[in-house]
Structure 1
């Protein structure tokens, strides 16, 4: 049985793994220029890391835009980790962290092919499809309900 864990990265080792995951997925697989991925904002974000059976396999970051809104971005899962629900677990944990910070709305710019995953988590599409780094994206948002 496969065990997936997701946590906020805190160690140099975890930050290095996040960088490698993003390089592999975005630059090597998708041809995204590093300057667009590594934008100098990582240090101001919560960066999550996922492990599959103890191996670092995926990542996402949460960037607070203002006291009520955050953007979840840089979702990446290595090929060998796909199909285990890791992307969905990363997104669900990111949403919980945003909620714990009092965030009321989360926005994403999702690659178009992965839109169904985000819809499962309650995100709704808004605006037109756009191309960024040669990849079709869609803007999505989710209002977070703070149930008491």
Structure 2
């Protein structure tokens, strides 16, 4: 159990630099994603989550609202030194709480294929075939928050 982990909706624009730093390391440096694909101009219209471990910013995700019924969790990233502790799962759980609090019934994720098990544990179902996005294999996943 991680007792010194805090995850919350980020204060924008104050914490946007920290979020961008994490995404730059994880997506551009580690995974080779082009900067323009990651920073797509939509960050300002999304809820951004930020995770602090021992007071240090280690993870992030954003929630983009597609319409009044559907939200999409995107750009989930955890720094290498903080991986393997369940932080990605905790960030996703927090994102689901935020989405549910807005009475949005459906959540989508284009999950990188190698981490789809994380989302399946949280009740997401894979839809369709594996596809490539930014040179990385992904699967579309969906979860209904209202049964």
Which TM-score applies when normalising by structure 1? 0.95
Map 1:1-148 → 2, pairs under 5 A = 3-145=4-146
SS, match of residue 131 in structure 2: strand
Where in structure 1 are there 5+ consecutive unaligned residues? none
The Cα RMSD (Å) is 1.2
Which range moved further: 36-45 or 8-17?
A: 8-17
Report if aligned partners of 1:2, 1:53 keep a CA contact under 8 Å in 2.
no
SS, match of residue 94 in structure 2: helix
Aligned length: 146
Shift of 1:11: 4.6
Which TM-score applies when normalising by structure 2? 0.96
Where in structure 2 are there 5+ consecutive unaligned residues? none
Shift of 1:145: 2.1
Shift of 1:15: 1.1
